[in-house]
Amino acid sequence: MLLGLLGAFGAALCYGIGSVLQAVAARDTETAEGLDPRLLLRLVKSWRYLVGVGLDGLGFVLSIAAVRTLPLFVVQSIVASFLAVTAIVGAIVLKMPLRRADKIGLAVVIGGLVLVGLSAAEDRAVAVSRAEEWGVLVAAGLLALLAIPLARLTGASGAALLGAIAGLAFGATSVAARMLPGSLAPDQLFSQLGELLRSPATYALAVAAAVALLTYSTALQRGTVTQATAPLVVGETVAPALVGLLLLGDQPRQGWGWVAALGFALAVGGAISLSRHGEITEDTPREGTIGAGPTMPAPQRN
């Protein structure tokens, strides 16, 4: 369980730092019309985006390891704290002062994570049916279809709705990772490859990750970071937590249910309060500069 907690906190750290690098690239890149996969091709021309994606990839691996050993409500609330990391990086590296509300938000996130950590129980192995695996794949496909008309919306509504789709897709990746068959230990991965390729959860993870990446990158071009990120945090935490509790046998320590619920609410609420961090202004560093400017770039998740 300790390794799972360390993996979840490591994922949040990677996501928080990676967001600083990726957001400037997202805002520096030509705005996409609708849900255009070519946006990703334009983004990979930025070194910031590539390094940020690398950090996100490491965070993704750490989060998969975490969801294999811990309940989803624990992992997702910890991962949502990447916004606290983003706020701290902004204060230290970009000299962006924290407002009193930001400091309160950080304290709330930390307090919530302490409660979640104390209430965590080691995950129980629960058999997952093939129908449930197919269900996650169908859900990922529906999110992709729903994103197409929503991507044509502009302004605050477009940013919020695409952010929500991205959050649900990120949540679907966690649920799919939890459902993957067999062991994902490096020394056993090759022997499990055939079983993984036959599992719908493997393809659900890939589809959901692609949808999340594209919709959130598009959402950041539609509106403010708060408009895009607040619904993302809700979608990527609440939905998988409910799936874990209702279908996957997740549970807190005996008698600690109220502590887990309070900690989860505080961690998610505090993260949402910090989602304004990274608002891009004209003073934000552009391509060719490193760490210049007083304003924090918008958080980007993958």
pTM reported for the whole predicted model: 0.78
Lowest average pLDDT, out of 7-11, 102-106, 181-185, 248-252, goes to: 181-185
Report how far Cα 275 is from the mean position of its chain's Cα atoms. Answer: 13
Q: What six digits make up the tokens of 278?
A: 């990274």
Please list the alpha-helical segments (H only) found in the chain. 2-28, 38-43, 47-67, 72-79, 82-92, 100-119, 130-150, 155-179, 193-198, 200-222, 225-246, 257-273
The dihedral of CA 122, 203, 213, 238: what is its sign?
Answer: negative
Q: What percent of the chain has pLDDT over 70?
A: 78
Range with the poorest average pLDDT among 59-63, 258-262, 270-274: 270-274
Q: What are the domain boundaries of the chain?
A: 2-126+141-179+208-273
Summarised one tens digit per residue, pLDDT across range 171-200 is 999 999 889 887 666 666 677 788 888 999
Confidence of residue 147 (pLDDT cuts 50, 70, 90): very high
Radius of gyration of the chain (CA): 18
Per-residue pLDDT reduced to its tens digit, 35-84: 666 766 777 777 777 888 889 889 988 988 888 888 888 898 898 888 88
The most confident of 98-102, 136-140, 173-177, 186-190, by mean pLDDT: 136-140
Q: Which comes out higher in pLDDT, residue 135 or 196? A: 135
Among 94, 92, 300, CA closest to 212: 300
Q: How does residue 161 score in pLDDT terms, banded at 50, 70 and 90?
A: very high
Lowest model confidence (mean pLDDT) among 66-80, 128-142, 214-228, 273-287: 273-287
Which of these, 237, 223, 219, 234, lies nearest to 300 by C-alpha position? 219
pLDDT at 291: 35
**Whether pLDDT at 294 is above 70:** no
Residue 133: band (very low, low, confident or very high) from pLDDT cuts 50, 70, 90: very high
Residue 166: what pLDDT?
93
Enter the tokens of residue 10.
């490591």
Q: Across all residues in the chain, what is the average pLDDT?
A: 80
What confidence score (pLDDT) does residue 81 get? 85
Give the residue, 208 or 122, on which the prediction is more confident: 208
Name the amino acid, one letter, at 92: I
In this predicted structure, the answer to whether residue 23 has a pLDDT above a threshold of 90 is no
Upper half-sphere CA count for residue 141 (Cβ side, 13 Å): 9
